[in-house]
Amino acid sequence: MVEINFDKNPEKARLFADKDINRALDLLQIDTGTEITPGKTLLFFDEIQAAPEMLPLLRYFYEELPELHLIAAGSLLEFLLAEHIFSMPVGRVEYLHLGPMNFEEFLLAQGQWRLVTMLNEYSLNESIPEPIHRTLLNAVKLFWVVGGMPAAVAQTVTTGKPDAVSREHVAILQTYEDDFSKYRKRIYPQRLRKVLRRVPALIGQKLKYVNLDPEERSRELADSLNLLEMARVICRVKHSSGNGVPLGAEVKERIFKLLFLDIGLVTTSLGLNLPELEMAEDLLMVNKGALAEQFIGQHLFFAHPSYETPRLFYWQREQKSSSAEVDYLMAYGNKIVPIEVKSGKTGTLKSLQQFVTEKKCPVALRFNTMPPSCSRQETTIAGKERVPFLLLSLPLYLVGQTQRLLEKI
């Protein structure tokens, strides 16, 4: 691999100034002292947003050296693309959407490949021994503190010190805030920082702009949220009526909840730590269930193939005597699967039953801290026809296996 970090070395873009790709690669080989062999060498342009003149050149790599493997990556790239003044290489670049490391990748980073193999091979007709169940729930607690940002995971693997992880999170959040200043001609950095700091406390709630900042106008706050969404620091969970696929066809744009980029960053922002999570009797009650909703949400958000733009939906009905909310909706084939993140045996699933009754869903999904189960149920909504459905209950640590286990039933 030959890597160029344009944030650290913006002058490297001059190697490509004359748009002659073969000559540029000759110069790059001289500069790096590394032979670049198409088909064997990976050329990695990191932080490409720091050298926007490189983006239109990607077409020449595709047309003149299609056998050369090239990856370009950049944070806040959408800020740049939103008002770019150059021609993008349409049809020459494949876009892939990257999220934080997921729970199973987190386990692999720690050498826990046996646990990952077990999760990948788990079948619903098997039981998970209590000691392994506890081990996996404890790993979930650790993931909630560390999260999936690679630098934070690396600190956990190499030092095992919570303070080192926390410092890494603070540095990441500060870097985002510093990056916003680069775009001050188009944005108001102070407002953006204020919104960024406020979002972790509002996860899982239908957004009301007054909760972001009662002194700011809704329009300005909406602009700040749009920019944070473009930068992929937050994601919107949009309201869908859920009558059928695609879920995006019945979206109400003004009704949405927020998720943050990564649960580890959320935990640090909220001032939570591992000892506090260790003492929690039920993980799903921590911070009124917001961390559990963030954990499941960030996995479902990136559950689709990486070439698809990530999207996530939920359902809410607001009636004076019959309000209901389902945490997430998921399309599986031509069916809608409602998803609830509920506490142990005490979750009533009333909203889930409301949705199943109205939409006649054959399958519903619940995430909790109990061992997995799958059972036939009937809705019990007063005055409504009973609707049979299959309830799949999965422990939090099986979220990465959602699609596969749904396929089995």
Tokens of 368: 């909790």
Contact 274, 240 (CB under 8 A): no
Element (H, E) at 78: helix 77-82
Report d(CA 347, CA 66) in Å as an integer: 54
Contact 149, 172 (CB under 8 A): yes
Specify the pLDDT at position 346.
Answer: 45
Question: pLDDT at position 96, please?
Answer: 87
- pLDDT of the residue at 101: 97
Residue type, 49: Q
Say which residues have a Cβ less than 8 Å from residue 289's Cβ, sequence separation at least 6.
204, 341, 343
Q: Are 344 and 372 in contact (CB under 8 A)?
A: no
Look at residue 53 in the predicted model and tell me its pLDDT: 86
- How many CA atoms are closer than 13 Å to the CA of 330, on its beta-carbon side? 23
pTM higher than 0.85 for the full model? yes
pLDDT of residue 180: 77
pLDDT, residue 370, reads 94
Return the C-alpha torsion angle 131, 293, 329, 173, nearest 10. Answer: -120
At residue 132, what are phi and psi to the nearest 5 degrees?
A: -70, -40
Q: Hunting for tokens 């095992």 — which residue is that?
A: 160
Find the helix packing angle between 263-270 and 162-180, rounded to 10°: 100
Q: Could you give the dihedral angle defined by the CA atoms of residues 338, 343, 345 and 346, in that order, rounded to the nearest 10 degrees? A: -100
> What's the confidence (pLDDT) of residue 382?
83
Distance CA 254, CA 233 (A): 19
Where residue 344 falls (left for φ over 0; alpha for ψ -120 to 50; beta otherwise) is: left
Residues in the chain: 409
Q: What CA–CA distance (Å, rounded) separates 140 from 279?
A: 14
Let me know: does 187 contact 180? Beta carbons within 8 Å: yes
pLDDT at 135: 96
Residue with tokens 């099986």: 398
- 6, 13 in Cβ contact below 8 A? yes
Whole-angstrom Cα distance, residue 384 to residue 265?
Answer: 43
Q: Cα(249)–Cα(240) distance, rounded to whole angstroms?
A: 8
48-85 pLDDT, tens per residue?
888 888 888 898 899 999 999 999 998 765 555 556 66
Residue 277: per-residue pLDDT? 78
pLDDT tens string 5-50 = 998 999 999 999 888 899 999 999 999 999 999 999 999 999 888 8
Q: Rounded to an integer, what distance in angstroms lies between the CA atom of residue 259 and that of residue 249?
A: 21
* Integer Rg of the chain from CA: 23
Residues of the chain under the 70 pLDDT cut? 76-88, 183-187, 281, 320-321, 343-347
Peptide bond into 189 cis (omega under 30): no
At 75 the pLDDT is 73
Q: How far is CA 160 from the centre of its chain?
A: 24
